[in-house]
Amino acid sequence: MKKSNAERFIEAYNQIDYSLRTIYDFKRSMSFSDVVRRSVVLNSVVRKYEEDLIDFGRLRNAIIHQGNNHFTIAEPHDDIVDKIEKLSALIAEPPKAIDRVGKKEVITINYDMSIKSAMELIGRSGFSNLPIYKAETLIGILNARKLLGVLGNKLAEGVNLQEYITNTTVNSVIADMGEDYYFMLADPDISIDQAMNAFENNRKLLIILITKNGKDTGKPLGVISSADIIDMKKILDVY
């Protein structure tokens, strides 16, 4: 039997409510509106559709007979049902970033490669972020813009750049590139929403490196860059 709009709406609403409480460990005693508002800083989908979700909570209370979740007293419009079902899917089963935007090709470099060779590789490949490995362990990310800053400082100090880039390894320059806040590690299950949230919470984040276990051991499986933000937004809009 075909489900009514009210039944579809309530199922989607309950899925959203359950998912947010489970993911973020919210107490059952919290109201739905409080759950939504507390999720705003944690979830980019909730942040974008906060007011819609609050309205859906009010609508749920309006169409459910008090004390009986199975007895509805109103039927929501088709557009409303379609929208809450879309949000339910985005929140409960968000698409994985590596499947939709994560670049599977990741060029890595060895820690003892010269800066000159690394610069040539950046030029040939077009990749501006190169993970640096020592054996099977990640020790940092060589970022083209940050490297340019280091070279600019060396030039200001009167250093012979040709000799410097030829005789200096990428491992030696990592310390001059600052803290590692401009990249983060994630496992293959990171969703588009989680990736979006990471970039929104850290405006200095440049890339998310995806590894088998989300740690710095083992070769990378994919990479998400800040340049992918627009594509991720589009995917969430049409998902």
Give every strand in the sheet of 137-143, ordered side by side: 109-110, 129-134, 137-143
Mean pLDDT for 92-100 is 90
Q: What is the CA angle 23-4-19, rounded to 5? A: 0
Higher pLDDT, 117 or 4: 117
pLDDT of residue 180: 64
Whole-prediction pTM value? Answer: 0.78
| Structure confidence by residue, pLDDT tens digits, 102-145 | 777 889 999 999 999 999 999 999 898 999 999 889 998 999 98
Chain-centroid distance, C-alpha 128: 19
How would you classify the pairing of strands 137-143 and 183-186? unpaired
Query: For residue 106, which of 152, 71, 142, 160 has the smallest C-alpha distance?
Result: 142
Q: What pLDDT does residue 176 have?
A: 77
Mean pLDDT of 215-225: 89
Q: How many CB atoms lie within 10 A of CB 101?
A: 22
pLDDT of residue 224: 93
Using the predicted structure, report yes or no on whether residue 49 has a pLDDT greater than 90. yes
The yes-or-no verdict on residue 69 having pLDDT over 60 is no
Residue-level pLDDT at 218: 78
- Residue 205: predicted pLDDT: 92
pLDDT category at 62 given cuts 50, 70, 90 is confident
pLDDT band for position 178 (50/70/90)? low
Is the predicted pLDDT of residue 68 greater than 80, yes or no?
no
Task: Measure Cα distances from 228 to 73, 97, 199 in Å.
Answer: 44, 10, 10
Cα three-residue angle 85-90-38, rounded to 5 degrees: 100
User: Average pLDDT, stretch 47-67?
Assistant: 87
- Nearest-Å Rg of the Cα atoms of the chain is 24
For 70-77, what is the mean pLDDT?
76
Ranges in the chain annotated CATH 3.10.580.10: 99-238
pLDDT for position 100: 86
Domain 99-238 annotated CATH 3.40.1160.10: no
Tell me the mean pLDDT in the region 229-234.
Answer: 90
Once rounded to an integer, what is the mean pLDDT over residues 155-165?
Answer: 95
Query: What pLDDT, on the 0 to 100 scale, is given for residue 35?
Result: 97
State the DSSP string of 70-134: T-BS----HHHHHHHHHHHHHHHSPPBHHHHT-BS----EETT-BHHHHHHHHHHH--SEEEEEE
DSSP 50: H
